[in-house]
């Protein structure tokens, strides 16, 4: 186990100066039960050898339409399975903002960055209700197998909206609930219908889909310009 004190000494991990009070999280959102955060001791599963065969990760990356120089947030990056690959794809003029709430995951990510001499990844320690992203600066926010774990989905989506550049998009990957052959626990799957319900309610509209991954939905969401934020009572 990695002590937090070690991590806070790492300059590249951006830790917010003031820790704002975390509002109460949800167990259920719009009829969906929220899953527990995957613990960092499960990190080896994220870089398992047969992940490519099972999930066709390279096909997913090929369909992201990444251009060099992009700024991409890998939200819920874990130990950086995608962050490191994205870093190579955006090139030295691009940047990956790798956000996770578990410092131990960011420590594993940093070790992998160092082993591969990758410098264009900025690890960011997020909090459960705030990814601590800069405003109007991100081209894509990629969430692979993360959104269904968010304990504060509405407020997280609001911060994500604020961080996207004009024309920026969220790319969401979730295991398909509709398909009983996908060998993942039901709590860790989502249906397309549920995803659309939650994203449209929070000011996003579906802009593109890729339906050829073996296990996951891959859905692109842009900001809906006609959406009005509900007035707080």
Q: Which chain residues interact with ligand SAM by CB under 6 A?
A: 37-38, 46, 75-78, 81-82, 99-102, 105, 126, 128, 131, 144-146, 149-150, 156
CB of 128 or CB of 227, closer to ligand SAM: 128
CB of 141 or CB of 167, closer to ligand SAM: 141
Distance between CA 156 and CA 146 in Å, rounded?
A: 12
Nearest distance in Å: CB 90, ligand SAM: 17
Task: Work out whether the CA dihedral 80, 85, 86, 87 comes out positive or negative.
Answer: positive
Nearest distance in Å: CB 38, ligand SAM: 4
Nearest distance in Å: CB 153, ligand SAM: 9
- What secondary structure does DSSP assign to the chain, as a single string? ---HHHHHT-TTSB--SS-PPPPPP-SEETTEEPPPPPPGGGHHHHT-TTHHHHH-HHHHHHTT---TT-EEEEET-TTTHHHHHHHHHH-TT-EEEEEES-HHHHHHHHHHHHHTT--SEEEEE-BTTB--PPTT-EEEEEEES-GGG-SSHHHHHHHHHHHEEEEEEEEEEEEETT-TTS-S-GGGEE-HHHHHHHHHHTTEEEEEEE---SSEEEEEEEE-TT--PPPP-
Nearest distance in Å: CB 150, ligand SAM: 5
CB of 46 or CB of 64, closer to ligand SAM: 46
Nearest distance in Å: CB 152, ligand SAM: 7
Cβ 110 vs Cβ 86: under 8 Å? no
Nearest distance in Å: CB 233, ligand SAM: 25
CB of 71 or CB of 102, closer to ligand SAM: 102
CB of 21 or CB of 228, closer to ligand SAM: 21
CB of 78 or CB of 168, closer to ligand SAM: 78
């Amino acid at each position: 186990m990695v002590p937090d004190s070690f991590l806070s000494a790492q300059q590249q991990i951006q830790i917010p100066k003031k820790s704002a009070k975390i509002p109460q999280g949800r167990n259920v959102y719009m009829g969906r039960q929220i899953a527990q955060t995957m613990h960092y001791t499960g990190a080896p599963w994220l870089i398992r050898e047969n992940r490519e065969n099972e999930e066709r990760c390279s096909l997913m990356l090929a369909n992201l339409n990444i251009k060099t120089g992009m700024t991409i947030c890998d939200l819920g990056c874990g130990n950086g399975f995608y962050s490191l690959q994205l870093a190579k794809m955006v090139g030295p003029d691009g940047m990956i903002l790798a956000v996770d709430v578990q410092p131990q995951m960011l420590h594993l990510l940093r070790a992998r960055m160092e082993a591969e001499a990758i410098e264009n990844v900025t690890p960011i320690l997020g909090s459960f209700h705030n990814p601590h992203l800069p405003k109007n600066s991100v081209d894509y926010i990629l969430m692979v197998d993360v959104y269904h774990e968010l304990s504060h989905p509405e407020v997280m989506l609001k911060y994500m909206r604020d961080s996207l550049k004009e024309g920026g998009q969220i790319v969401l990957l979730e295991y398909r609930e509709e398909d009983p052959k996908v060998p993942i626990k039901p709590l860790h799957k989502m249906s397309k219908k549920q995803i659309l319900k939650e994203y449209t309610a929070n000011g996003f509209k579906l802009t593109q889909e890729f339906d050829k991954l073996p296990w996951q939905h891959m859905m692109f969401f842009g900001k809906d310009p006609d959406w009005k934020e509900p007035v707080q009572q």
